[in-house]
């Protein structure tokens, strides 16, 4: 009689919990990038944005967040999971409360508002604010994102962005904001408990390690954000 050895239970469990991806230091899962049709890209920024919003409306029930790069790539990110969802809401909420206390001198937005930057990219920062004198209204018949870059932008590294390449994507995005007119930007990284402060005219961002508070400086005058309590120590 022929007998067949059964796999050891511990070996089976190890095989089930180990995937090819776990052997790679960085496989860059997100954002998923899809190239737009070349004819749409060649037609220019207005055509790309029109295509983008048609796609968004056709998939309005989708849980994926979509952004559009300046060179015609569609970027898809998964839903925001805990605690990143609360971190984003708290940050945008604090900016709104500061704006309210100041008598509404600008327009604060959260992680559902899109901006069409001067370079043609359509971005959705986790929090943003723009002084009223810098707000541009859309032309009649236009649709889509706000047609300007915010004065102040915040991006928060989420739980789905833990790999080095994910941080690189965020660094590039922050640089894009600054090159398109932002005056102040915060890249908040709960993974490493750091904050990079971007300022207009500065060659490099300032790196802060585990700061307690962040200052709105001369853009959001008097705004103090307790990043340690509201972001880093959030359970």
Q: How far is CA 212 from CA 22, 127, 223, in A?
A: 34, 19, 14
Average pLDDT over residues 147-158: 94
CA distance 34 to 127: 25
Range with the poorest average pLDDT among 32-46, 97-111, 140-154: 32-46
Q: How far apart are CA 80 and CA 83, in angstroms?
A: 8
Please determine, for residue 16, whether its predicted confidence score (pLDDT) is greater than 60: no
**Cα torsion angle, 76, 80, 84, 88, sign:** positive
**pLDDT for 232:** 94
Average pLDDT, the chain: 83
Return the residue matching tokens 């989708």.
62
Q: Which pLDDT value is given to residue 23?
A: 42
Region 92-101 average pLDDT: 97
Q: How many CB atoms lie within 10 A of CB 93?
A: 14
Region 155-170: mean pLDDT is 82
Q: Check residue 139 and report its DSSP letter.
A: P
**Which domains can be identified in the chain, with CATH numbers?**
9-77 (no CATH), 84-232 (3.90.1570.10)
């Amino acid at each position: 009689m022929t007998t067949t050895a059964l796999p050891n239970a511990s070996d089976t469990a190890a095989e089930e919990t180990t995937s090819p991806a776990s052997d790679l230091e960085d496989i860059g899962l997100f954002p998923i990038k899809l190239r737009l049709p070349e004819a749409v890209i060649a037609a220019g920024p207005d055509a790309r944005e029109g295509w983008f919003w048609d796609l968004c409306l056709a998939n309005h029930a989708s849980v994926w967040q979509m952004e559009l790069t300046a060179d015609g790539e569609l970027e898809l990110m998964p839903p925001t999971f805990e605690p990143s969802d609360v971190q984003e809401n708290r940050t945008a909420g604090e900016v709104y409360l500061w704006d309210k206390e100041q008598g509404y001198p600008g327009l604060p937005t959260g992680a559902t508002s899109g901006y069409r930057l001067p370079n043609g990219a359509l971005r959705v920062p986790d929090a943003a604010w723009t002084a009223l004198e810098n707000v541009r209204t859309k032309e009649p018949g236009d649709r889509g994102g706000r047609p300007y870059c915010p004065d102040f932008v915040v991006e928060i590294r989420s739980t789905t962005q833990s790999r080095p390449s994910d941080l690189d994507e965020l660094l590039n995005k922050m640089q894009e904001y600054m090159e398109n007119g932002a005056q102040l930007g915060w890249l908040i990284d709960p993974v490493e408990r750091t904050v990079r402060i971007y300022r207009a005219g500065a060659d490099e961002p300032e790196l802060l390690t585990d700061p307690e508070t962040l200052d709105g400086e001369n853009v959001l005058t008097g705004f103090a954000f307790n990043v340690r309590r509201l972001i880093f120590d959030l359970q």
